[in-house]
Chains A and B, each alone.
Chain A
Amino acid sequence: MRGALMYELVHAGTDALIGEIIGLAKDVATIQVYEDTTGIAPGEPVERTGAPLSVELGPGLLGTVYDGIQRPLEVIRNEMGDFIIRGASLPALDREKKYAFTPVAEPDEKAVPGTVIGTVSEGRFVHRILVPHGIEGAFTSVAGTGKYSITDEIAGVLTAGGNEVPVTMIRRWPVRVARPFAEKLKPEDPLITGQRIIDSFFPIVKGGTAAVPGPFGAGKTVVQHQLAKWSDADIIVYVGCGERGNELADVLRQFPALTDPRSGTPLMDRTVLIGNTSNMPVAAREASVYTGITIAEYYRDMGYDVALMADSTSRWAEAMREISGRLEEMPGEHGYPAYLASRLAGFYERAGKVRVRGPSGSKGSVSVIGAVSPPGGDFSEPVTQNTLRVVRVFWALDADLAHARHFPAINWLSSYSLYPDDVQEWWRDHVGEEWSAMRRTMLTILQKESELEEIVHLVGQDVLPEDDKLSLHVAEIIRESFLIQSAFDSVDTFCPPEKQYHMMRLITDYAGYGKEAIGKGKSVADIASLPVANRLARLGSVANDTFTEYFEETEREMASAFGQNTGGRT
């Protein structure tokens, strides 16, 4: 194999299985094969392609389900049946389909990477066709308005070197290389997910990174699904990396039927699914996260906010470990390769908010949310620890919460976000002044609860002073009615920021009234027995279009209840 290149794509064996060169030593190349290698024997041919593992980029990605190396699973099913037979080689994008093209650029105009040649519509999205990487010069021709397939020439560019280069709508990009951009920007707009504990307590931004580690059964996948469904990114790339087949079936069942609350169109229309389930080949699992993030970057380059969910990065790391073990590399911690940390960091670093290349100067972002599946739920293992070093949000899932069916089982004491200061301006401008203050109040009460609980465990609740009992009482309300949020309740599954804000206000006001009442000699038992306390119990399921009324009424009732029964608020 002399002359072969590192990471070059090859076809191995008589069945031409797709593989990639991952090691070279003189004239011996080590190839990882993306399919089951049963039946391959020494002496079979290997054919080089001369190109690295790449994905096809162009109109037609949205709404499609791919495997880890971007083979279209629905097309494969139509051609080969319900079971995946190896050796399938089908193009990722439909070559026949015609798209209505509207030119933007004009002949003689300057063409640099990122210049918009024209647009096609992909569902409700404007899919901008950009001048690809490496081409610079002037347009000699731009196709007129009309219907074109992705392989038709839509423009010609005369480069500085004097070559006339034809441009089509399809691009290829090597998955392991980050797509270039003009400049990284500081992300400061929250990615609104409609999940209270995330948006209000541990927010993530558009262009940010987050990790969701948790033992099995703690709800990693439900969290990821909720984010894929309800977050306000334009485009979602969902990578099912080494996970369950039925989970993908669940997404495929739900997403076409669910409507995006912002656009009113099916959620599937904004989604690209990469599904490499646990029983599909390991090497393709290793590639799947790169395939996903390259597609995410492609839409970012058009100026969209893209969110990528990778479930689970631990399976990706294990794929690396498995391949590294086969190569007999010297293992690092827990048998993982020594380059685990740099691979994880390299992946998360492809997230970010950027100013894209080209004269448009538009901004786009890729947010990355990775699930981590630590063995035995032990967060000290290498994948969790190396991930925590690079992500800025940590949603720690907790087995005890999950056992008590407190979902999402995100532990409010061990989780953190480094973005609250960045997003408080957004909350102030778009929702209300007091977000930061209320957030702090609520987190303080929860922190207080955990301290008090240790005392209660030793001596019981009776000996606590009334204001501490009040903290316990309010903390319970925060947990039960604010933090618990049912993904399966048709209303509660998505909680708009305004509603979150009002809920926070009701609860913090209640805490404030309670404190004053206690100052006036009332007991927590008196306060908890007020009928208005019950009104706080089911705030999440109040319909999203009528909550303002209900909440205002509760607020009035609270004021009068405390006024009449406890001496009022002065």
Chain B
Amino acid sequence: MTSPAREYTSVVRVSGPLMVVSGVGDAAYGEVVEVRLPDGEKRLGQVLESRTDIAVIQVFGGTQDLDTDITSVRFTGEPLRMVVSPEILGRIFDGSAAPADGGGAVIPGKIMDISGSPINPTARAFPEDCIETGISAIDGMNTLVRGQKLPIFSGAGLPHSSLAAQIARQARVLRDHEEFAIVFGAMGITNEEARFFLNEFEETGALGHAVVFINRADDPAIERIITPRLALTAAEYLAFDLGMHVLVILQDITAYCEALREVSAARDEVPARRGYPGYMYTDLASIFERAGRIHGRNGSITQLPIISMPDDDITHPVPDLTGYITEGQIVLSRDLHRKGIYPPIDVLPSLSRLMSGGIGEGKTREDHGGVSDQLYAAYAKGRRLESLVTVIGEEGLSESDRRYLEFAARFETTFTGQGAAGGRTVDETLDAAWDLLRLFPAEDLNRIDTALIEKYLRRESP
């Protein structure tokens, strides 16, 4: 895309987030435009559709106050790009990358296309370095690894923000002290949530190695379409140009998808489920697939997107499509939250697909895989029995069944519900698991290697 800038005042239609400009013969698909309002304000837009006579443009700053007489549109001839340099660390930007911390513009080091390019699958290095988050339900049973994309599925009123902030604070890679950075991309979050994260970063000193992009709930909705791309472009620069290990927190993907739906509806597209566009899977993939590691490069991008499930419904299109793209999910449960358990992670629907590559002998501990499987099997059985007990009462259960019931209860209060203060090392997490597994006779532990049962079951926890 190298055509020169052209300027038009021929806006013929404004509708929702879109505007149509006529008489444009050569607008390129994806070209950036600058919209100048009657009062002189400038807004950013992008060409969504280009025909021989008209161009359809989505206006990121919203179409409020646009008119069809005076408003002028400058076609820049460029795709959407952003300026990056090492000094973006420690900076706070708004949802379209303008400084929001009172600082000046970023002095250009490199200019990058914000849509990025797909990583060649043959260049990808398989993620297998365990990240210790200090949270037992994650480290023990849904281990996060560098280069993974592991979303948090949450609901309104659940403590996903605290959990994400806690992970950002505590995350470390075992036996490693490499440079790391945090990129926070906020789409449609409230002022309070934004303040929570900023305070958190400031108090823990994380802000110095963080880059923050904030689109607040009262900022233009369409801007949310570019915010995650800006965040990931910054992350790619830090990871693959500067060799840092980057943790990207994106909140809230549901708000992003709603912006996508708004544009799609304005274009009269045939919707798929619940009015969301048919291409939402592909669109979300273009965000989530930007996590990863590359052979021969030092850095990595680990994504921790937060998805709020409307009505806690995991089959809603946003969590559903997300789950098909990401490498697992951490699911928060309202029931556990009500019981006062923190973090309220429901391990049963939670999953880390990359766990098996990141754990075991030489990485975490030899018994990790077996212990995790055993905890899952026993907890699933305990939960099944819990629902049974409500019908037939505890008397109807065998002694063995009662052990599973007790296990499930203790698992929730002591293993999952470790409290907000501090974290556990992976060793401490696994030892806590063995403490629970001691409830059972050794022959019940059929998911763990017999030699490891010998070794760990009798060992008292330190």
Give residues in A with beta carbon < 8 Å to B: 36-43, 65, 73-74, 76-77, 81-85, 215-217, 240, 242, 244-246, 248-250, 252-253, 275, 277-280, 282, 315, 318, 321-322, 325, 328, 331, 334-335, 373, 375-378, 399, 402-406, 456-462, 480-481, 488, 534, 537-538
Contact = CB atoms under 8 A, between A and B. Distances in A.
Interface in B117-142: 117-127
Contact of B29 (A39, A81, A376, A399): A39
What are the 6 closest A-B residue pairs judged by CB atoms, nearest first?
A: A460-B396, A376-B315, A278-B285, A38-B30, A404-B380, A279-B289
B450 to A, nearest CB: 8
B344 interface: no
B398 interface: yes
23 contacts: A38-B1, A39-B1, A42-B26, A77-B122, A83-B118, A83-B119, A84-B117, A216-B320, A217-B328, A240-B121, A242-B281, A246-B292, A248-B122, A277-B289, A279-B118, A279-B282, A279-B286, A318-B282, A405-B373, A457-B388, A459-B396, A460-B397, A537-B443
Contacts of B314: 376
Contacts of B31: 39, 41
A378 B315 contact: yes
- Most B-side CB within 10 Å, residue of A275, A278, A325: A278
Contacts of A481: 446
B29 A41 contact: yes
B121 A405 contact: no
B120 A77 contact: yes
Interface stretch (B98-106, B176-184, B267-275, B429-437): B267-275
Contacts of B25: 42-43
A73 B123 CA distance: 9
A277 B286 CA distance: 10
Given A40-B28, A77-B123, 10 more contacts: A42-B26, A43-B26, A65-B121, A246-B127, A278-B289, A322-B282, A335-B271, A403-B349, A458-B391, A460-B396
B51 interface: yes
Contact of B282 (A282, A404, A406, A462): A282
B343 interface: no
A511 to B, nearest CB: 19
Given A39-B1, A41-B27, A322 B285 contact: no
B61 interface: no
Given A40-B28, A322-B278, A335 B391 contact: no
Nearest to A282: B282
A334 B317 CA distance: 13
Nearest to B281: A318
B206 to A, nearest CB: 27
A351 B371 CA distance: 42
B120 A84 contact: yes
A222 to B, nearest CB: 9
B26 A41 contact: yes
Contacts of A321: 272, 278
A376 B27 CA distance: 39
Interface residues of B, number: 82
A402 B331 CA distance: 15
A215 B289 CA distance: 20
A322 B349 contact: no
A403 B117 contact: no
Contacts of A331: 270
A406 B374 CA distance: 11
A39 B79 contact: yes
B124 A248 contact: yes
B288 to A, nearest CB: 8
B126 A375 contact: no
Interface string B26-58: 111111000000000000000000111000000
Contacts of B27: 41-42
Given A43-B26, A278-B285, A480-B446, A244 B325 contact: yes
Interface of B: 1, 3, 25-31, 50-52, 79, 115-127, 147-148, 240, 269-273, 278-279, 281-282, 285-286, 289-290, 292, 294-297, 314-315, 317, 320-321, 323-325, 327-329, 348-349, 351, 353-354, 356-357, 369, 372-373, 376-377, 380-381, 388, 391-392, 396-398, 443, 446-447, 450
Contact of A76 (B120, B269, B321, B354): B120
B197 to A, nearest CB: 27
Given A39-B30, A403-B380, A488-B369, A280 B79 contact: no
B267 to A, nearest CB: 10
A76 to B, nearest CB: 6
Nearest to A240: B121
A530 to B, nearest CB: 12
A68 to B, nearest CB: 11
Contacts of B121: 65, 73, 240, 245, 248-249, 252, 275, 277
Given A216-B320, A244-B289, A278-B281, A249 B126 contact: yes
B14 to A, nearest CB: 22
Given A246-B126, A405-B380, A315 B281 contact: yes
Contact of B50 (A42, A461, A534): A42
B278 A325 contact: yes
Given A37-B29, A322-B282, A325-B278, A82 B349 contact: no
B152 to A, nearest CB: 15
Contacts of A217: 323, 328-329, 349, 351, 353
A325 B269 contact: yes
B286 A246 contact: no
Contacts of A77: 120, 122-123
A462 B398 CA distance: 9
B281 A245 contact: no
Contacts of A278: 281-282, 285, 289, 325
B396 A462 contact: yes
B26 A216 contact: no
B58 to A, nearest CB: 14
Contact of A84 (B115, B118, B323, B388): B118
A245 B119 contact: yes
B349 A335 contact: no
A152 B369 CA distance: 54
A335 B148 CA distance: 32
B263 to A, nearest CB: 14
Contacts of A334: 272-273
B357 to A, nearest CB: 8
Nearest to A538: B446
B272 A246 contact: no
Contacts of A85: 117
A328 to B, nearest CB: 8
Given A377-B315, A404-B377, A82 B1 contact: no
Contacts of B356: 488
A225 B150 CA distance: 21
B377 A282 contact: no
A543 B109 CA distance: 58
B117 A459 contact: no
Nearest to B236: A83
Contacts of B324: 216, 373
A325 B272 CA distance: 10
Contacts of A40: 28-29
A328 B267 CA distance: 12
A488 B353 CA distance: 12
A334 B126 CA distance: 35
A375 B123 CA distance: 30
Contact of B52 (A42, A245, A277, A335): A42
A34 B114 CA distance: 21
A250 B122 CA distance: 10
Given A82-B123, A250-B126, A375 B279 contact: no
Contacts of B289: 244-245, 277-279
